[in-house]
Amino acid sequence: MSLYHEVDGPGDAPVVVLGPSLGTTTGLWAPQLPALTARWRVLRYDLPGHGQSPPPGGGRTLTVGDLAAQVLEILDAEGVGRFAYAGVSLGGAVGAALALSAPDRVASLILCCTSPRFGPPEGWHERAALVRREGVGPVAETAAQRWFAPGFTGAGPYVAMLRATDPAGYAACCDALAAFDVTDRLVRITAPTLVIAGAEDVPTPPAGHGDVLAGRIPGADLVVVDGAGHLANAERPGPVTGAITRHLDRTWKGLPA
């Protein structure tokens, strides 16, 4: 199974890969595209069963390592060697897995609203079972409350991404999150790393998630964005885009501004 992907930006620029969260698509990163594609070549992908990527066949179970391997397959097909990577939530977990499994290729790492471990696996298995039984409707009903700080009025397009997600793909990604735990391996990440956390993030709050990543990855920086929930790049695009471009300027410089 090949993941759908899009490539934008100058053909001769350094590559930045953008990974989406569970329930969203390449469109999650639309607020950052103008700034990034001006100086970097940007590759975005859809998770299995999300957006334009096919769902996993035959009820296949996925791991975050499987997703990381599929991203490497895309990059190999595009002829990309070294790259920077930024990911939100599950997309961030994929980034951590890539930094651990292919350290020679990950030149710079940005982990946004993510965690080295997404809580007890039982909750994820229960959500996967619910979606396999009833579809994504029940989780879409509460997505805005999980994803955004109170009062945010722009949740509609992101919830629509979730409603259009294939249940088998969503459930398989839940199973991947259930099994993910790299807490004890973070010290092995060598890529220069920026951790971005939303101050009002409910699923992965800074305390116990972002601070663990920043505290255990050697030399990592932590930026906490006020007024932002779990999809901080969508809710507070200005501060998040600025933090990303400043980190890339230090670690994976693009074309001249």
How far is Cα 48 from Cα 56, in angstroms, rounded to an integer? 6
Query: How far is CA 84 from each of CA 20, 44, 122, rounded to the nearest angstrom?
Result: 15, 12, 33
CATH number at residue 112: 3.40.50.1820
10 Å CB burial of residue 12 (0-12, 13-18, 19+) is: exposed
How far is Cα 207 from Cα 153, in angstroms, rounded to an integer? 26
Residue 98 lies in a domain: yes
Q: How many domains does the chain have?
A: 1
Residue 193 lies in a domain: yes
Structural domain span for residue 97: 5-251
Residue 170 lies in a domain: yes
Q: Is the pTM of this model over 0.75?
A: yes
Question: What does the pLDDT look like over 22-75, one tens digit per residue?
Answer: 999 999 999 999 999 999 999 999 999 999 999 998 767 899 999 999 999 999
Question: What does the pLDDT look like over 145-201, one tens digit per residue?
Answer: 999 999 999 999 999 999 999 999 999 999 999 999 999 999 999 999 999 999 999
Residue 257 lies in a domain: no
Residue 256 lies in a domain: no
